[in-house]
């Protein structure tokens, strides 16, 4: 056979083999993607032991089925809403029959126009807004677009953020022309119940502190929007975490850390004094009142860094806040800020908030997370590397399987052991400068990170710690401000008397 003809045949065979290999490769790629997704889901399930650990997969399947079907009332509502808010079923059927009789081209041209529902303006006719459609996505989030008006009052302007609970949007109150933040909870039972608990906690806080003097975010309104609990708050700036992230994780200055830590202790102390534990303190839940900043050049980093102008903060997210007389879940707090008594399932109370604050202050000071892990045993190993050995009493009392004869069951020679050894060091070795201010800061952090909850510093004691002595009088809060004023007055009187004595004018 001539060489050229053989070459043609071989080329055609090569093409067919290439096509078959491509198909098999694509099939294997699809299967590997599904396997990768399932493996990733398993990893997430094994790592994530936060609030809603139990029966997650069953609840998710049930939630998706309920979401697809909805309750009978919701199905009736959606059917009627798709027709028109004012039309009956017979009128809808007549309209549908006439619509089908129209020529295709005419129907197509009309399909691009707004429905009567969208053309109808709300009661605030001066605003260019529209009524939203009531639909949820597969995860239970409310589907909305900018310009939608909820409750014929709140116009959605922008999306501010998203979390496991739902979304936060920027809204405008059309009644009083006021801009607020609206938290729209997923249409999922467990998040709906958590939102009701948050509303209850915020209501109790408002009763005790109507003027918001204790730096907890103010709830302005709440309502149930077709299964979505919605809570309106005062408009605030970025969280201290988001500012840190946007600033390439450049830490805050010591004076900024001092003021933010002082406010955090003051705010959470108010909760503790009213028999309430926040249980989810983290940098994401501390918001600046105003996150405007200046830009300064950092000689050490050889680049510009942001410096927030105003370090006034507010505490948010009371969805997991628990009163002393309420049921205490076994696991609380976000992983990196979780106290050892919670991990060891020994029970918890207000001291678990103090541990979280210690972790937060460290993160604000250095720009890094103190306990960067997603595994309980590794978390405990990090604690021992940074803070010393876990007390024998706590190890023996815990019913978890992390200890053997009172000692942490941990292989230091494993890859995880090397990771902990290389990335963690004793707490005071993280101190960047060896002066009195930095020593006092780390003394406060170390007292907040005491293993035994009963030996951990209280927030009342923390407010009197020497690290906060340099808080200016105009930045002090509540009784602390009155005490500082009386102290400064006493010092002024003493100084005047000493001057008079020296000058002979007693």
Give the residue numbers of the binding site for ATP: 183
Q: Residue 268 and residue 285: Cα distance in Å, rounded?
A: 12
**Known catalytic residue at 436:** no
How many Cβ atoms sit within 10 Å of the Cβ of residue 497? 11
List the binding residues. 183
Positive or negative, the Cα torsion across 363, 369, 371, 375? positive
Compute the residue count for the chain: 506
In this structure, the dihedral spanned by the alpha carbons of residues 235, 241, 243 and 249, taken in order and rounded to 10 degrees, is 180
Specify whether the CB–CB gap between 136 and 106 falls below 8 A. no
Q: Residue 311 and residue 288: Cα distance in Å, rounded?
A: 7
- CA angle at 272 for the pair 268 and 277, rounded to the nearest 5°: 80
- 355 CB-near residues (< 8 Å, 6+ apart): 337, 338, 339, 340, 448, 449, 456
- Quote the strand ranges of 241-394, DSSP E: 276-277, 286-288, 293-298, 303-308, 313-315, 322-323
Catalytic residue among 280, 312, 434, 506: 280
In this structure, the dihedral spanned by the alpha carbons of residues 439, 440, 442 and 444, taken in order and rounded to 10 degrees, is 160
Q: Residue 477 and residue 474: Cα distance in Å, rounded?
A: 8
Q: Residue 165 and residue 185: Cα distance in Å, rounded?
A: 6
The residues assigned a catalytic role are 280
């Amino acid at each position: 056979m001539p060489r050229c003809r053989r070459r043609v045949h071989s080329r055609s065979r090569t093409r067919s083999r290439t096509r078959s290999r491509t198909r098999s490769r694509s099939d294997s790629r699809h299967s590997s993607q599904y396997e990768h997704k399932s493996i990733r889901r398993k990893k997430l399930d094994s790592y994530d032991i936060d609030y809603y650990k139990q029966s997650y997969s069953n609840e998710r399947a049930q939630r998706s089925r309920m979401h697809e079907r909805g309750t009978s009332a919701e199905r009736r509502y959606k059917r009627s809403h798709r027709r028109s808010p004012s039309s009956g079923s017979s009128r809808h059927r007549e309209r549908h029959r006439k619509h089908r009789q129209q020529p295709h081209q005419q129907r197509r041209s009309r399909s691009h126009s707004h429905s009567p529902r969208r053309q109808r303006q709300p009661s605030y006719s001066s605003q260019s807004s529209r009524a939203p459609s009531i639909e949820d996505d597969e995860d239970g989030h409310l589907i909305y677009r900018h310009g939608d008006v909820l409750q014929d009052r709140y116009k959605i302007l922008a999306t501010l953020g998203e979390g496991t609970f739902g979304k936060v949007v920027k809204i405008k109150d059309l009644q009083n022309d006021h801009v607020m933040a609206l938290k729209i909870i997923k249409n999922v039972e467990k998040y709906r119940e958590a939102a009701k608990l948050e509303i209850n906690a915020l209501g109790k806080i408002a009763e005790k502190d109507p003027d918001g003097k204790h730096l907890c975010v103010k709830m302005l309104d709440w309502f149930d929007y077709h299964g979505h609990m919605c809570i309106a708050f005062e408009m605030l700036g970025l969280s201290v975490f988001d500012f840190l992230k946007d600033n390439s994780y450049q830490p805050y200055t010591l004076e900024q850390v001092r003021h933010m830590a002082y406010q955090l202790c003051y705010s959470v102390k108010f909760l503790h004094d009213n028999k309430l534990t926040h249980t989810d303190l983290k940098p994401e839940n501390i918001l600046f009142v105003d996150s405007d900043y200046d830009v300064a050049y950092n000689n050490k980093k050889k680049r510009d860094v942001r410096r927030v102008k105003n370090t006034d903060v507010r505490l948010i997210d009371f969805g997991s806040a628990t009163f002393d007389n309420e049921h205490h879940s076994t696991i609380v707090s976000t992983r990196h800020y979780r106290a050892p008594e919670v991990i060891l399932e020994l029970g918890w109370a207000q001291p678990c908030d103090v541990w979280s604050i210690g972790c937060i202050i460290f993160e604000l000071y250095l720009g890094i997370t103190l306990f960067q892990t997603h595994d309980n045993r590794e978390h405990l190993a990090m604690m021992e590397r940074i803070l010393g050995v876990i007390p024998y009493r706590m190890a023996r009392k815990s019913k978890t399987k992390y200890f053997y004869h009172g000692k942490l069951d941990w292989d230091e020679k494993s890859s995880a052991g090397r990771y902990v050894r290389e990335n963690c060091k004793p707490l005071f070795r993280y101190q960047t400068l060896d002066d009195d201010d930095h020593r006092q800061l780390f003394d406060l952090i170390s007292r907040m990170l005491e293993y035994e909850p009963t030996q951990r510093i209280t927030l009342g004691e923390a407010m009197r710690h020497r690290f906060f002595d340099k808080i200016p009088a105009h930045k002090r809060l509540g009784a602390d401000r009155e005490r500082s004023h009386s102290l400064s007055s006493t010092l002024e009187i003493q100084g005047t008397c000493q001057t008079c004595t020296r000058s002979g004018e007693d």
